[in-house]
Amino acid sequence: MTVESLTMDRASTDAEQADRSRAFREIVEPELPVLLRAARALTKSSADAEDLVQETLIRAFKAILQFDGAYPRAWLLTILRNTNMNMNRRKRPFLLSDGNLWENATPAFGHDHGSSAEESALDKSLSTEIQKGFKDLDPRFREVLFLVDIQGFNYRDCAAVLGVPVGTVMSRLSRGRKRLREHLIKTSALEGRIK
C-alpha cells in the first residue's frame, strides 16, 4: 500500500465521518423536543427522560448510516422505545398506568378572554370531567389518547413509541374517545344533544 493510497483512504474516511455527523445533526436536532416529551411519558421523570434521550442519541448516531431517510421521527422514537426497554430490562405495561402525569396539570380553559363567564364555567366542568374520565379509561386507550390528543403525536409516531401498528393506534383512539365522550355526556360536561 502506497502513501498516496493511505492518504486517499484517510480522506475518504474523514469525508464519511463528516457526512455522518451532518446527517445526524440534521435529522436529530429538530426532533429533540419530541424525543424529550416521549421520554418523559415513558419514564415519568425529567432526569430519567434526559438520560434516556442521551442514550438514544448515541444509538441513533451508531445506526445513522443504516437509516433510509423515511420518517426520521418515527425512526428515532422506535430507538427511544427500544432503548428504554433495554435500560429497564423490562417492558412497562402501559404509559400512565396510574394517570399521575395529570396531577400537576393546569387546565388551559377559561384563559380565553373572549369567552363569557358561562362558557368558562362549562369549559372548567369539561376540563375536570375529562381528567376524571381519562383516568378511568382502559390503559391501552389512555396511552393512545395521551400521545395523540394531549401530546400531539401523529398516528405513525404514536405507533413507534408504543411498538404497535398504526391500525391499532387508530382503533384504540376511536374506542378511547367514544368511551370518554360517553363519560362526558353522562356527567353533563358535554351537551350530548343527540346520543
Residue 86: HSE in the Cβ half-sphere, 13 Å Cα cutoff: 10
Cβ proximity to another protein: between 55 and 94 the closer is 55
Nearest CA to 188 out of 145, 136, 128 is that of 128
Residues at the contact surface with another protein, assessed by CB under 8 A: 14, 17-18, 20-21, 24-25, 28-29, 32-33, 35-37, 40, 46, 49-50, 53-54, 57-58, 61, 101-102, 104-109, 123, 126-127, 130-131, 134, 145, 148-152, 154-156, 166, 170, 173-174, 177, 180-181, 184-185, 190-194
Amino acid identity of residue 184, one-letter, is: L
The Cα–Cα gap between 19 and 15 comes to 6
Minimum CB–partner distance for residue 178 and another protein (Å): 9
Query: CB of residue 10 vs another protein: minimum separation in angstroms?
Result: 12
Nearer to another protein, 7 or 19 (CB): 19
Spatial distance between the Cα atoms of 118 and 187, rounded to a whole number of angstroms? 17
Q: Which of residues 91 and 152 has its CB atom nearest to another protein in the complex?
A: 152
> In this structure, what C-alpha cell is assigned to residue 128?
375536570
> Strand, helix or coil at 7?
helix
Closest CB to another protein among residues 1, 47: 47
